[in-house]
Structure 1
């Protein structure tokens, strides 16, 4: 049904609300517009310059989106999608305008080279001629430049992975023990690599996989039990045999074997005749 209203007819309050909200006419050439009638029914009014885009998603994705909309009180899934796309576009545009890390590192090092070079030159060439206070400040500048250089390398440059193939990884904070084990295995023609802390060893194992791990339990940072659990829960390392080398009481070690997944243990001081079992893994 078409409702006919003359141009001189007085607009209703709802018509005025519609026009204020949408910027469209409620009456055009004496007739109530289709837009106003749809608006009265609660239908959403779309701008002519907007186009509907449809996407296909699985029921699982649809359910996930709907739960998110409900949890964070979005009015519609469409609003969530629009906001997500706009955020993604802004993020990509922001990232594309950033300089790559190697370029930033290079630019910082160029300036740092001047600071480091001149401070070192002044200190070495003029330390006998300048006041001690001046020399002290120059030395401080040089020392700080070295610290800054290390930070640039650590944070902006890709780590260099040492290409060194070895058989046994030893993790122990006692150098005498390490030297003893390295000498023993080298006499058997096996290569070793060692670390004094668990943190360093775990970082090393991101890049290489040894054939065998000898692990002390009492370390300065992470105890050997925790390290072993990390190794055995890692998909790439879980098959590597881990043997504890420790002065911890026998009962304490045995009590942790099942929990940590270790393959065996050797108590200090060592009985090297018991080490023969290790060669089955090498």
Structure 2
């Protein structure tokens, strides 16, 4: 049977030892004088060996174990041979001197412990950026494509969420426990997916404007945002478009616009509810709010007194319909 070694093979002799070439061993080597045979028989699950591994990794910022095997660097360290320390680590010969210097300067100015740590973080960041399907790649899509994606995601989700909610509210007593659990899980997952879709839409740069703007447009249809943004720009006004009620509220908190154009049917909060919140707020109640909607005017009229909106514009609209709002700009 092969004997497994732990700390028992670590020399406690305080005398300076020499390696196979007869050279003095480096710092701490009086605690390490293992032979190749001893290293080959190390039990990497041994508690004391794990402590050595942690000490090595802390000292050198290098892995002691890679894919289940002891690394060559750790073997040398256990034998007391020279290991490149944090300040004198090697950089690949394939890297130019200028690149090496840039890496070293960046490492020191940004307080990275080693070049290896910098490279690992850089690679992770690169992979994350390349894997971000809804990041820059989505922003490079044309307006129509983004709008189609938005509706394609939200319409079936609304059906799934709506019917599962109806079943939970009206048929709980008639469903067995297993079916009820499944429907509840579907409903919960639909809520999570809805929030993810909203977050994705919120992070799409629908326009590039300065922080100061005249009109806040809260509208989930990106094509409409682009259209109205261009229209008001042609009239000399800046329009900021956001695709959810939550984002709209955040914008209002960040700065009071001269006018708010508000879609009624939004993916997260009803436009009616947002309007009422604005008009009931002591700071924001003076902001003019005009509703944008495809809901019949007779239905909107029923809500006007309650939500205190300043007016509404029906879809599909003509640009002449917006002449009424220029009095606020």
TM tier, smaller: 0.3 to 0.5
TM-score normalized with structure 1 length: 0.45
TM-score normalized with structure 2 length: 0.39
Q: Which has the larger radius of gyration?
A: 1
